[in-house]
Amino acid sequence: MRNLILLGAPGVGKGIQAKLLAERLGIPQISTGDILRGAASEGTELGRKARTYMRDGNLVPDEIMMGLIRERLTREDCQGGFILDGFPRTLPQAEGLDRLLDGQFWPQAVVISLEVPDREIIRRLTNRRVCRRCGKDFNLLTNPPPDGCLCPVCGGQIVKREDDMEGTIKARLKVYKDWTRPLKNFYRRKGLLRVVDGGGSSGGVFRRILGQLE
């Protein structure tokens, strides 16, 4: 049983690595961004609350995020471990997660910080496209979607994310530096942090992560 937290700026490849790890380790990927986008497209109360923050590249308030993650982690499929992708993003969230994990039988998580230079992040995100229905990632430069703009997995429409515009990407990078990057020290002090180079192919990054988990 294992818990993993993937830290890193938007566009470092947390989502892709979380999916590969979930498959390899047989535990669920929990992407708070995907959960919020799903809620926004369904028009639920959570989605309506989250939408403006997300569109502008700001963080959704901690109380909302803590409620969401508490509910998600206590579901049956998390009892054998889980991979957090995009949570925690602030110190209060990390402290809240600690309290949540303390009260359960889960072991402390291993925290992987993926690192890629800003220039490369902007290049990746301005070229990122996603399936509106299943969330599959594409990239116009490295992994272009097939002709016709329909997802080969589920037939959904392939679109640019609302927050992948250049201005919003810069705002999200600033939010990451101001709020999320300090978590590296929080987890380093606990001895849980592993820093992994997120450059190059996703297969190469995956092997580096597995190397850190051995």
Q: Tell me which of 14, 19, 37, 136 is the catalytic residue.
A: 14
**Does 21 help bind ligand AMP (rule: CB under 6 A)?**
no
Candidates 93, 112, 94; CA nearest to 14 is 112
172 labelled catalytic: yes
Q: 14 catalytic, yes or no?
A: yes
> 3-class SS at 30?
strand
Shortest Å distance, C-beta 61 to ligand AMP = 7
**Alpha-carbon distances, residue 70 vs 41, 123, 124, 130, 147 (angstroms):** 22, 34, 32, 27, 41
Could you say which of 89, 124, 129, 136 is catalytic?
Answer: 89
Q: Which positions from 146 through 185 interact with ligand AMP, judged by CB under 6 A?
A: 163, 172
Residue 99 appears among annotated catalytic residues: no
Annotated catalytic residue: which of 37, 128, 136, 208?
Answer: 128
65/151 with CB nearer ligand AMP: 65
Amino acid occupying residue 23: E
| 89: annotated active-site residue | yes
Q: What are the two backbone dihedrals, phi and then psi, of residue 147, each rounded to the nearest 5 degrees?
A: -55, 150
> Is 96 one of the binding residues for ligand AMP (CB under 6 A)?
no
Site string for ligand AMP, 51-90 (x = CB under 6 A): --xx--xxxx----x--------------------xxxx-
Helix/strand/coil for 31:
strand
Residues 6+ apart with CB under 8 A from 205: 13, 17, 114, 196, 197, 198, 199
Residues with Cβ within 8 Å of 132's Cβ and at least 6 positions away in sequence, in order, are: 41, 156, 157, 158, 159
Residues that bind ligand AMP (CB under 6 A): 10, 32-33, 36, 53-54, 57-60, 65, 86-89, 93, 163, 172
User: Catalytic residues, which ones?
Assistant: 14, 89, 128, 161, 172
